[in-house]
Chain A
Amino acid sequence: MADIDLRNVKKSYTKGVPVIHGVTTTIADGEFIVIVGPSGCGKSTLLRMIAGLETITEGEIAIGGRVVNNVEPKDRNIAMVFQNYALYPHMTVYENMSYGLRIRRMPPAEINERVQRAAKILELGPFLQRRPRELSGGQRQRVAMGRAIVREPAAFLFDEPLSNLDAKLRVQMRLEIQKLHRQLRTTSIFVTHDQVEAMTLADRMIVMNLGIAEQIGRPIEVYEDPNSLFVAGFIGSPAMNFLPAKRFGDEVQLAGTQLRVPLPPQLRASAPEAIMVGVRPEHLVAESGGTTFQFRVETVEALGADSLVHGAFGEGTVVARVDGHMTPEIGTELTFSAMPGKLYFFDTATGKRLRA
Chain B
Amino acid sequence: MVEHRPWFNVLAHAILIMGVMLVAFPLWITFVASTLTYDQIITVPMPLVPGDQLIENYAQVLTAGSNKGSSAPVSTMLLNSFIMATGVAVGKIAISILSAFAIIYFRFPLRNFFFWMIFVTLMLPIEVRIIPTFKVASDLNLLDSYAGLILPIIASATATFLFRQFFLTIPDELAEAARIDGAGPMRFFWDVVLPLSKTNMAALFVILFILGWNEYLWPLLITSREEMYTVVIGIKRMIAGGDATTEWNLVMATAMLALLPPAMVVILMQKWFVKGLVETEK
| A103-B181 contact given A84-B173, A88-B174, A90-B196, CB 8 Å threshold | yes
Q: Determine, out of A75-83, A305-313, A342-350, the stretch whose residues face the partner at the interface.
A: A75-83
User: Using Cβ atoms and an 8 Å threshold, which residues of chain A touch B279?
Assistant: 133
Chain B: minimal CB distance from A115 (Å): 14
**Is A89 at the interface (CB under 8 A from chain B)?**
yes
- Is the beta-carbon distance between B179 and A53 smaller than 8 angstroms? yes
B176 interfacial contact with A, CB 8 Å: yes
The 8 Å CB contact of B195, one of A74, A86, A90, is: A90
Q: Is A15 an interface residue (CB 8 A)?
A: no
Closest Cβ neighbor of A133 among chain B residues: B281
For the complex formed, measure the closest distance between the CB of B116 and the CB atoms of chain A, giving whole angstroms.
Answer: 21
Chain A CB within 10 Å — which of B180, B187, B281, B282 has the most?
B180
A–B complex contacts, Cβ < 8 Å, 17 sampled: A52-B180, A73-B176, A78-B180, A79-B180, A83-B173, A86-B177, A88-B174, A88-B177, A88-B192, A89-B196, A90-B196, A90-B281, A99-B178, A99-B183, A100-B182, A131-B281, A147-B181
B191 CB within 8 Å of chain A:
yes
CB distance from A55 to the nearest CB of B (A): 12
Instruction: Enumerate B189-210 residues with CB–CB distance to A below 8 Å.
Output: 191-192, 195-196
**B-side interface mostly:** helix
B260 to chain A, nearest CB (A): 33
Contact yes or no, A82 B282, CB < 8 A: no
Known: A74-B182, A103-B183, A131-B281. A53 touches B174 (CB 8 A): no
How many angstroms between the C-alpha atoms of A78 and B281 in the bound complex? 27
- Residues from chain A with Cβ under 8 Å of B43 in the complex: none
Q: Which residues of A contact B187 (CB under 8 A)?
A: 103
Nearest chain A CB to B108's CB is how many angstroms away? 16
Q: Which residues of B contact A87 (CB under 8 A)?
A: 177
Whether B181 and A82, one on each chain, are in contact in the complex, defined by CB atoms closer than 8 angstroms, is: no
Contact with B along A140-168 (1 / 0, CB 8 A): 00000001000000000000000000000
Report the separation of the CA atoms of residues A216 and B173 in the bound assembly, to the nearest whole angstrom.
28
Q: Looking at the assembled complex, report how far the CB atom of A144 sits from the nearest CB atom of chain B, in whole angstroms.
A: 9
A residues apposed to B, CB below 8 Å: 51-53, 72-74, 78-80, 82-84, 86-90, 99-100, 103-104, 131, 133, 147
Q: How far is the CA of A78 from the CA of B171 in the complex (A)?
A: 21
Quick one: given A100-B182, A103-B183, are A86 and B196 in contact (CB under 8 Å)? no
Could you say which residues of chain A place their CB within 8 Å of the CB of B171? 84, 86
**B192 to chain A: which residues have CB within 8 Å?**
88, 90
B281 touches A86 (CB 8 A): no
Determine the chain B residues whose CB is within 8 A of the CB of A84 once the complex forms: 171, 173
A156 to chain B, nearest CB (A): 11
Distance between Cα atoms of A229 and B182 in the complex (Å): 43
Contacts of A72 on B, CB cut-off 8 Å? 179
How far, in Å, is B124 (CB) from chain A's closest CB?
35
B196 to chain A, nearest CB (A): 6
| Interface size range on B against A | 20 to 34
Picked from B174, B180, B191, the residue with its CB within 8 Å of the CB of A74 is B180
The smallest C-beta distance from B86 to any residue of chain A, in angstroms, reads: 25
A99 contacts B281, C-beta separation under 8 Å: no
B243-282 at interface with A (beta carbon < 8 Å): 279-282
**CB atoms of B195 and A82 under 8 A apart:** no
State in angstroms the CA–CA spacing of A74 and B181 once bound together.
Answer: 6
Nearest-neighbour CB distance to chain B for A285, whole angstroms, equals 48
In contact, B182 and A86 (Cβ under 8 angstroms): no
- Distance A84 CA – B171 CA, assembled complex (angstroms): 9
- Does A89 contact B282, Cβ atoms closer than 8 Å? yes
Docked-complex contact A104 and B281, CB < 8 angstroms: no
Knowing A84-B171, A84-B173 touch, does A89 contact B281 (C-beta < 8 A)?
A: yes
Residue of A nearest to B198 (CB): A90
Give B187's nearest chain A residue, CB to CB.
A103
A171 and B140 CA atoms in complex are apart in Å by 69
What residues on A are CB-neighbors of B179 within 8 Å?
52-53, 72-74
Compute how far the CA of A131 lies from the CA of B282 in the bound complex, rounded to whole angstroms: 11
By the criterion CB–CB under 8 Å, are B182 and A82 in contact?
no
Q: Which residues of B contact A133 (CB under 8 A)?
A: 279-281
Instruction: List which B145-198 residues lie within 8 A (CB) of chain A.
Output: 171, 173-174, 176-183, 187, 191-192, 195-196
Q: How far is the CA of A78 from the CA of B176 in the complex (A)?
A: 13
Contact B182 A80 (CB under 8 A): no
Q: For the complex, give the distance between the alpha carbons of A236 and B251 in Å.
A: 85
A100 touches B181 (CB 8 A): yes
CB-CB < 8 A to A82: which residues of B? 173, 176-177
**With contact pairs A88-B192, A89-B196, A90-B196 given, residues A80 and B180 touching in the complex (Cβ less than 8 Å):** yes
